[in-house]
Structure 1
């Protein structure tokens, strides 16, 4: 009897499960339901997503595809496979120099400019509203100025009338003018200094805005929980509360440090002496806008994109540990 009862009960269980499965909506129905429920949100975000897809996703995908071809803007692209990348890393000595300069530039200017943006924003945030607004404009102004490179060209002019040469000769450090931008030993150093001067830009404003949104009651709760000084407040309260702004600033600074071109071209010329200020972006400009080797230029752009993407992923992992 017991065996018969179990045999009779089994179909009923299977039948109940099948009925429950039938009652549950499938994936397509859930998607349709979510679209109907959040249709206003999709309408609002739709224009941005369309523009992002057309002007970011599509160009990146096309660049990766073109990097596998030979394309000179006059003939239809011819499939080349990995030959552009093999030429880039095995035969192009100038690209290796540009890659080395870019990494040196990014390793120095990236972290320093990122930390400087936050520290200046943190200090300025402690000022009164009017003083804060004035100091924000003073620090942000260089990044939005037009052609400000002539200031540095005057400072590092290669004759005795240059400000730096005049000062060094007057104080007795040198006896004759230094050709700053014609000497490979000084070119990259000067460009790094200028880029750091220009680095208080969008990230700086994002950090100030983020500091304004930190909930002040968290500091009172932190004092109760044992936080005793400003550094502990910064690490355990301020930084965790600003993770979105910190992430945004990191992306901006990484992009700026790897995409150096204007400073090098305006100060050191194009090409620079012995390629001392040559970067990946200036190499890309050379092949993309002067030689019109679009397949090779797309390979350079793809390599730069992968470097930036990898750097951003590493920074995101590091920023998740802030406040832990």
Structure 2
């Protein structure tokens, strides 16, 4: 029996074109998304990766320099190694994980409230996430002012808990703490709403079945029923917490009113990128920093998928 003839390259191309034409209506429906994805996400990422291997100052044409930007990043950029990278990891770990845990706990507490109160507590928790950095600084600057008329200092002085005003946002010792507190206040965003929606949509029959199987406390209900039933929403919340922790890292500059922040206490990788890209116009090195930050975010999201992604058969 003769073996079937293998398709030639021209025949394969023709078959691919025919297959695309056959499902042309389907491709037409996804075309708007694909065009936006390619133009606003794929092309900028590819361009950033390409520019990270060049010297580019926005005036001269990019000049290929190989791995020099990444080598200088590890061997010569002391501010990055000593301040920006440790501050970013510390801030992201506390705000990302802390905000995520707070979002889940608050979502669970709101879910068990009667419906008439639930919407008002949800609105109160979600509203701060809508505030811009400028609005946040207007709200928090009087509270954290370093003089005696600052609300927090005035309150603590009246209670005799401190003897002199504390420089909450202009000192190296307290700036990071202030940034974390303000960021946690703002962290109840879209991820919080997603987890709340997931908890509210858990099938009540699962809780009844759990009680019949021996579950006797709210904590056991959360561990054995609520968390497994809301894995997709928790994954979404984890990804949003990572992105929010990266985006809000410029809060140090907004609170202190200084660039760079006092003794680089609130200096983040994003601030470092802005410094090299928008002030020094070393755009090749700035894009190399951006690629490193993108890599960190990618591995953080892979960890989130590992923890909360749906396994086969679940």
TM-score (norm 1): 0.85
Structure-2 change in CA distance of 1:78 and 1:179 (3 Å): same
- Contact 1:103–1:258, Cα closer than 8 Å, also in 2: no
- The alignment status of 1:285 with 2:274, answered yes or no, reads yes
- The alignment status of 1:179 with 2:167, answered yes or no, reads yes
Pick one of 44, 49, 53 that aligns with 2:29. Answer: 44
Structure-2 change in CA distance of 1:69 and 1:150 (3 Å): same
Structure 2 gap ranges (5+) = none
Q: Distance in 2 between matches of 1:210 and 1:31?
A: 41
Q: Distance in 2 between matches of 1:231 and 1:127?
A: 16
Q: Distance in 2 between matches of 1:245 and 1:159?
A: 43
Pick one of 32, 57, 70 that aligns with 1:72. Answer: 57
Pick one of 134, 137, 149 that aligns with 1:161. Answer: 149
Pick one of 65, 70, 85 that aligns with 1:99. Answer: 85
- The alignment status of 1:139 with 2:128, answered yes or no, reads no
Structure-2 change in CA distance of 1:35 and 1:234 (3 Å): farther
Q: Distance in 2 between matches of 1:73 and 1:39?
A: 41
1:238 maps to what in 2? Answer: 226
1:10 maps to what in 2? Answer: none
Q: CA deviation at 1:41?
A: 4.8
Q: Distance in 2 between matches of 1:218 and 1:68?
A: 54
Write out aligned runs for 1:81-96 (5 A): 81-96=66-81
- The alignment status of 1:227 with 2:215, answered yes or no, reads yes
Q: CA deviation at 1:34?
A: 7.6
Q: CA deviation at 1:258?
A: 3.0
Structure-2 change in CA distance of 1:137 and 1:74 (3 Å): same
- Contact 1:260–1:281, Cα closer than 8 Å, also in 2: no
Query: Which structure has the larger Rg?
Result: 1
Q: Distance in 2 between matches of 1:122 and 1:32?
A: 51
1:16-38 CA distance string (max 9 Å, x none): 9x57x99xxx9989978986786
- The alignment status of 1:212 with 2:200, answered yes or no, reads yes
Aligned length in residues: 305
Q: Distance in 1 between matches of 2:210 and 2:14?
A: 47
TM-score (norm 2): 0.88
Computed over aligned residues only, the root mean square deviation of the Cα atoms, in angstroms, reads 2.7
- Contact 2:70–2:288, Cα closer than 8 Å, also in 1: yes
Q: CA deviation at 1:171?
A: 2.2
Structure-2 change in CA distance of 1:247 and 1:31 (3 Å): farther
Q: CA deviation at 1:255?
A: 1.6
2:182 maps to what in 1? Answer: 194
- Contact 2:250–2:270, Cα closer than 8 Å, also in 1: no
Structure 1 gap ranges (5+) = 1-14
Q: Distance in 2 between matches of 1:44 and 1:209?
A: 29
Q: Distance in 2 between matches of 1:261 and 1:71?
A: 26
- The alignment status of 1:116 with 2:102, answered yes or no, reads yes
- Contact 2:235–2:309, Cα closer than 8 Å, also in 1: no
Name the SS for the 2:174 alignment partner: helix
Q: Distance in 1 between matches of 2:294 and 2:237?
A: 18
